[in-house]
Amino acid sequence: MLSAEDANLFYGMFYPLLNYVNDKHKVNENLPVLHDEASYTDAMEAKKVADYMWEHLETIDEFLADHPDLPEEQREIITSWKKRIRGRFVLERHLKKGSVLLSAEGDGKAYLVSGIRSYWEQMVQYRKPPVFVSTTLIPFKDVIIYDSFLMNYNILIGGNMTRSFKQQYMEAKNSGRLVTTLSETKPVPQKAGTAAKKTTAKKGSVVKKPGIRYTLKVYPKGMGREIYRVIEIAGNKTLTDLCWAIMGSFDFDMDHLYEYIMDDRRNSWNRYLCTYMEDEDYPSTDIVLKRIGLFPGKKFYLHYDFGDDWYFAINVRKIEETEGTISTRIIKQAGELEQYPDYSDEEW
299-332 tens-digit pLDDT: 999 999 887 889 999 999 999 998 888 999 999 9
d(CA 281, CA 259): 13
How many other CB atoms sit within 10 Å of the CB of residue 103? 20
For the chain, domain boundaries:
4-179, 211-337
DSSP 3-state of 133: strand
DSSP state, 68? Answer: T
d(CA 142, CA 181): 6
| pLDDT higher than 80, residue 293 | yes
| pLDDT higher than 50, residue 42 | yes
Residue 103 contacts residue 46 (beta carbons within 8 Å): no
Residue ranges of the alpha helices (H) in 56-128? 58-66, 72-80, 120-123
Pairing of strands 131-140, 98-103: unpaired
DSSP state, 81? Answer: G
pLDDT score recorded for residue 347: 41
Instruction: Point out the least confidently predicted range of 73-77, 102-106, 240-244.
Output: 102-106
Instruction: Point out the least confidently predicted range of 41-55, 233-247, 269-283, 321-335.
Output: 269-283
d(CA 153, CA 131): 7
pLDDT score recorded for residue 224: 85
d(CA 279, CA 137): 30
pLDDT score recorded for residue 67: 94
Question: Percent of the chain beyond pLDDT 90?
Answer: 51
134-147 tens-digit pLDDT: 999 999 999 999 99
d(CA 291, CA 13): 11
- Candidates 260, 257, 254, 266; CA nearest to 239 is 260
69: which residues sit within 8 A by CB, 6+ positions away?
295, 296, 318, 319, 320
pLDDT-derived band at 195, boundaries 50, 70, 90: very low
Q: What is the mean pLDDT of the chain?
A: 84
Stronger pLDDT, 42 or 125, i.e. the higher one: 125
85-109 tens-digit pLDDT: 999 999 998 887 889 999 887 778 8
| pLDDT higher than 50, residue 205 | no
Residue 248 contacts residue 276 (beta carbons within 8 Å): no
Q: Which CATH architecture best describes the domain 211-337?
A: Roll (3.10)
Is the alpha carbon torsion for 172, 176, 180, 186 positive or negative? Answer: negative
How many other CB atoms sit within 10 Å of the CB of residue 65? 8
Taking CA atoms, 11 is separated from 8, 14, 111, 139, 171, in Å, by 5, 5, 22, 14, 35
pLDDT-derived band at 41, boundaries 50, 70, 90: low
pLDDT score recorded for residue 342: 59
pLDDT score recorded for residue 344: 46
70 forms bridges with which residues in the sheet? none
Overall average pLDDT of the 26-33 stretch? 86
pLDDT-derived band at 174, boundaries 50, 70, 90: confident
Element spanning 126, H or E: none
